[in-house]
């Protein structure tokens, strides 16, 4: 079968391909090849300035031609590298050979062709490339998408800050809150999670076959190779040098980054399930879309599918992120290859994360609040004022306040009249009694509105 959206094995490249277009050039094999070319070119340029008598600094035109290999890297270039790989059976060596082919016919570059991939192991190129891929995906796609979700939730929190809602601890009626405050809780959690994603330093190494600059020092004993590596990694590539490694960069930062994404995803799974419950309770309705069907047999259905899809996509993402986090920092002795195939799935894990953001955003855009339903639930739950009444009774030393309210309310529906009769019979100071008599479930929301507006 021809590969298409209908025949793709992964739904990320099939059914959902259009929603992941922004990640595809960054975390695909094309993206990996482009970053490999970028690293090889930056290392080559740095070597030209290192002081080798055999490799003098390049003129501006030659530097521009090299930099154009990265800037103009195309799918045709990636295909050409892939063709070389079919002969070499080595993906990084194929990149080296492709660059050397592009230098042919340019004397000032061709003379220095053996400085391409000079003293490098494949992992010097791969680990820096993976860090560049994650840098672009995080900063250009995933964080902006997460910010969009957070901004939408913040706007919702502010808009609904004053709208009272019955809480349901353990699924049972509980002290009221506001709908905006419950959204604000999610925003506050996401703020912390987002900061942790952004703060993870993306590390890389350029130190040879086992991390000791062995070949470098033999070929250039007078050069400060660690300083040169730091210049390439930190100045040219804008990453952070890891000076102590085996053949591979140990991927601890990747584990930290993937764990940070998983934490944000978990917060959004929690929210997706809560919204699903609020839709079930009737607190939210969903805007209808012309022509859309909710059930093949029940015409009335309007299902919260976007929140269900978000939950499922975040769950898939977290399963993969957990494996990446647990597996990647482990490598036998100075190197084994078990990380290689796993690293090729970074895009899958982060793709499901992005898909989760998209599903959640779509769901949020459909929500409409049913204020009448919220009010009806509050009107039917006067028992939730028992907390306030027994607390005021405690302050004034009345006998057995908790036990009295427990007897009156536990497991029972309490009316406004019954609650007010109970309060009216209490021996309380007039101001406190009047405050309790004036209290309703709608007004018993504490600082909820202020807290909602604060995020």
Residues marked as catalytic: 170, 295
Per the structure block, which two tokens stand in for 365? 């855009």
Tokens of 289: 């879309």
Residue pair 142/264 in contact (Cβ under 8 Å)? The answer is no
Alpha carbon distance 201, 197 (integer Å): 9
Q: How far apart are CA 357 and CA 217, in angstroms?
A: 48
Taking Cα atoms as reference points, which of 97, 116, 100, 91 lies closest to residue 33? 91
Interhelix angle for 346-366 vs 122-136, to 10°? 0
Percent helix, strand, coil in the chain, to 5, is 65, 5, 30
Query: 10 Å Cβ neighbour count for 187?
Result: 24
- Rg of the chain (C-alpha set): 31
- Cα–Cα dist 62/55, whole Å: 13
Sequence-ordered list of residues with C-beta below 8 angstroms from that of 406, at least 6 positions apart, any chain = 386
Q: How many angstroms separate the CA atoms of 65 and 46, rounded?
A: 15
Q: Which of 34, 127, 131 is nearest to 339 (CA)?
A: 127
Tell me whether strands 367-369 and 284-286 are parallel, antiparallel or unpaired: antiparallel
Q: Please give the Cα distance from 389 to 423 (Å, whole number).
A: 8
Cα–Cα dist 246/234, whole Å: 19
Token representation of residue 208: 């040879």
Tell me the β-bridge partners of 367: 286
Closest residue by Cα to residue 284 from 204, 210, 374: 374
| Distances 351 to 12, 345, 384 between C-alpha atoms, Å | 7, 9, 44
Q: Give the CA distances from residue 35 to residues 129, 238, 275, 412, in Å, rounded to whole numbers and listed in that order.
A: 5, 13, 40, 66
H helix count then E strand count, the chain: 21, 6
For residues 6 and 332, give the distance between their C-alpha atoms in angstroms, rounded to a whole number: 40
In a 13 Å sphere around the CA of 86, the CA atoms on its Cβ side amount to 5
């Amino acid at each position: 079968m021809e590969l298409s959206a209908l025949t793709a094995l992964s739904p990320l490249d099939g059914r959902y391909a259009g929603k992941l277009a922004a990640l595809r050039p960054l975390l695909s094999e094309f993206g990996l090849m482009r970053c490999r070319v970028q690293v090889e070119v930056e290392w080559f340029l740095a070597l030209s300035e290192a002081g080798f008598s055999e490799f003098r600094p390049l003129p501006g035109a030659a530097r521009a031609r090299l930099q154009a290999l990265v800037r103009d890297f195309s799918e045709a270039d990636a295909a050409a590298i892939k063709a070389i790989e079919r002969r070499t059976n080595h993906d990084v060596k194929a990149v080296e050979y492709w660059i050397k082919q592009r230098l042919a016919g340019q004397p000032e570059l061709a003379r220095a062709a053996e400085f391409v991939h000079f003293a490098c192991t494949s992992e010097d190129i791969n680990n820096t490339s993976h860090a560049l891929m994650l840098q672009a995906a995080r900063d250009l796609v995933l964080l902006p998408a997460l910010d969009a979700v957070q901004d939408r939730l913040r706007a919702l929190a502010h808009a609904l800050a004053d709208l009272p809602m019955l809480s349901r601890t353990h699924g049972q009626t509980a002290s009221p809150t506001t709908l905006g405050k419950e959204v604000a809780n999610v925003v506050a959690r996401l703020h912390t999670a987002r900061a942790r994603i952004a703060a993870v330093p993306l590390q890389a190494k350029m130190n040879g076959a086992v991390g000791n600059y062995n070949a470098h020092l033999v070929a250039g004993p007078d050069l400060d190779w660690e300083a040169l590596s730091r210049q390439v990694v930190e100045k040219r590539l804008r990453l952070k040098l890891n000076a102590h490694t085996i053949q591979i960069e140990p991927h601890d930062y990747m584990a930290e980054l993937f764990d940070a994404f998983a934490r944000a995803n978990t917060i959004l799974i929690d929210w997706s399930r809560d919204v699903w419950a609020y839709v079930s309770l009737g607190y939210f309705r969903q805007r209808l879309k012309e022509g859309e069907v909710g059930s093949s047999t029940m015409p009335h259905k309007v299902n919260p599918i976007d929140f269900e899809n978000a939950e499922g996509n975040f769950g898939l993402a977290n399963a993969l992120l957990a494996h990446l986090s647990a597996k990647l920092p482990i490598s036998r002795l100075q190197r084994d290859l078990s990380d290689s195939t796993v690293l090729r799935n970074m895009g899958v894990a982060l793709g499901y994360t992005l898909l989760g953001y998209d599903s959640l955003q779509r769901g949020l855009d459909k929500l409409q609040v049913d204020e009448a339903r919220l009010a009806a639930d509050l009107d039917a739950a006067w028992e939730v004022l028992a907390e306030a009444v027994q607390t005021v009774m405690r302050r004034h030393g009345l006998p057995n306040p908790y036990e009295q309210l427990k007897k009156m309310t536990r497991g029972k529906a309490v009316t406004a009249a019954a609650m007010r009769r109970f309060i009216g019979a209490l021996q309380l100071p007039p101001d406190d009694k009047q405050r309790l008599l004036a209290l309703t479930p709608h007004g018993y929301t504490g600082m909820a509105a202020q807290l909602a507006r604060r995020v």
